[in-house]
């Protein structure tokens, strides 16, 4: 059934989903943060989806945060640290029976959104789709992956694993009854790869090729295993380093999202990646010295 989706956060993943939801026949409205962004969008009037050298234009609507309601379906694709500030001016326009999906890197922001919006139902989603912005509202679909979605545990009633109206044409969307575990798995990999690529200013693959960097990644991963054991979380069949090594190899030529943020002098999602890990360790009475050192170094040297 066609629905109306509002999208908060028109970065690469927000535009990718805007295009695919529009393609599936939904009405889509981008919530843009400033009149300047709205002017830039209105000059185009569409999201451009580039894939294998073809360009498709999807005409969607756009609005400013203080004038976008009522909202029945909301997809949040902001950077993790922007979730609450971006949500604030929009929150009162979200219907009580709305469905809200938070799709982003890291952990902590999804739960903050669910707490802020309760009793509105909130889902979390985690994606391995590859996308980047060539220009504002022009997204390049770089690699087709998979998106997992599931309700966050704060939800009061039994919810379907995927909101019924979330039907993006062509993107792979799978139901995940244990979405928090999947978010943890992604978090562990991000903790192993992202801060180290920012520290060494290197591609993902170099973490496996250079013995010193690999040793460093192994020490970071050993601490992740230690915390997971303490929390009774079984993320992988073997130690985290095996999984981190395999992801770093598979994405060897890429620059991690954190390194891209650092190079573009943007704020990073460190607080929602290593920061979240350290917070959980502290609550469990553990110290993770390797992760702590990395966190402190990057806090001092990056935005
Ligand atoms: O998710 C990633 C990112 O860059 O944010 C990968 C490539 C898996 C590295 O952690």
Kindly state if the Cβ of 197 falls inside 6 Å of ligand 1.
no
pLDDT at 127 over 80: yes
286 C-alpha vs ligand 1 centroid, how far in Å?
Answer: 26
Per residue in 167-222, pLDDT (tens digit) is 988 899 999 999 999 999 999 999 999 999 999 999 999 999 999 999 999 999 99
Percent pLDDT > 70 in the chain is: 98
Residue 88 CB: number of other CB atoms within 10 A?
A: 11
**86-93 CB contacts, 8 Å cutoff, 24+ apart:** 86/8, 86/9, 86/31, 86/33, 87/8, 87/113, 87/116, 87/117, 89/65, 90/6, 90/8, 90/31, 90/65, 91/116, 91/117, 93/68, 93/69
pLDDT on residue 154: 59
pLDDT on residue 1: 78
DSSP state of 272: G
Architecture of domain 182-301: Orthogonal Bundle (1.10)
Q: Structural domain boundaries of the chain? A: 4-177, 182-301
Q: Where does the pLDDT of residue 155 fall: very low under 50, low under 70, confident under 90, or very high at 90 and above?
A: low
pLDDT on residue 158: 78
pLDDT at 156 over 60: no
pLDDT on residue 53: 85
* CATH class in words for 4-177: alpha beta
Kindly report the average pLDDT of the chain as a whole number. 95
Kindly state if the Cβ of 190 falls inside 6 Å of ligand 1.
yes
Per residue in 37-76, pLDDT (tens digit) is 999 999 999 999 999 889 999 999 999 999 998 999 999 9
pLDDT on residue 157: 64
Kindly state if the Cβ of 257 falls inside 6 Å of ligand 1.
yes
The verdict on whether 148 is a catalytic residue reads no
Query: Cis ω on the peptide bond leading into residue 70 (within 30° of 0)?
Result: yes
């Amino acid at each position: 059934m066609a629905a109306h989706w509002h999208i908060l956060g028109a970065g690469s993943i927000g535009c990718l989903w805007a295009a695919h939801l529009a393609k599936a026949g939904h009405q889509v409205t981008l919530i843009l943060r400033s009149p300047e962004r709205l002017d830039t969008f209105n000059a185009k009037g569409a999201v451009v989806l580039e894939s294998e050298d073809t360009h498709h234009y999807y005409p969607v609507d756009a609005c400013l945060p203080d004038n976008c309601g009522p909202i029945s379906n909301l997809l949040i694709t902001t950077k993790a640290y922007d979730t609450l500030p971006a949500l604030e001016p929009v929150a009162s326009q979200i219907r009580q029976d709305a469905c809200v999906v938070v799709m982003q890197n890291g952990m902590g922001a999804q739960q903050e959104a669910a707490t802020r919006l309760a009793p509105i139902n909130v889902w979390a989603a985690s994606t391995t789709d590859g996308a980047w912005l060539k220009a504002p509202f022009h997204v390049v679909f770089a690699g087709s992956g998979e998106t997992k979605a599931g309700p966050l545990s704060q939800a009061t009633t039994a919810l379907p694993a995927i909101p019924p109206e979330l039907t993006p044409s062509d993107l792979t969307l799978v139901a995940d009854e244990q979405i928090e575990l999947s978010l943890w798995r992604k978090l562990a990999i991000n903790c192993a790869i992202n801060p180290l690529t920012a520290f060494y200013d290197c591609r993902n693959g170099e973490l496996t090729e250079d013995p010193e960097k690999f040793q460093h990644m192994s020490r970071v991963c050993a601490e992740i295993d230690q915390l997971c054991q303490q929390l009774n979380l079984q993320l992988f069949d073997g130690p985290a380093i095996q999984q981190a090594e395999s992801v770093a190899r598979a994405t060897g030529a890429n620059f991690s999202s954190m390194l891209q943020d650092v190079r573009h002098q943007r704020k990073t999602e460190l607080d929602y990646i290593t920061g979240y890990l350290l917070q959980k360790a502290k609550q469990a009475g553990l110290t993770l010295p390797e992760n702590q050192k990395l966190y402190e170094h990057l806090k001092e040297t990056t935005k």
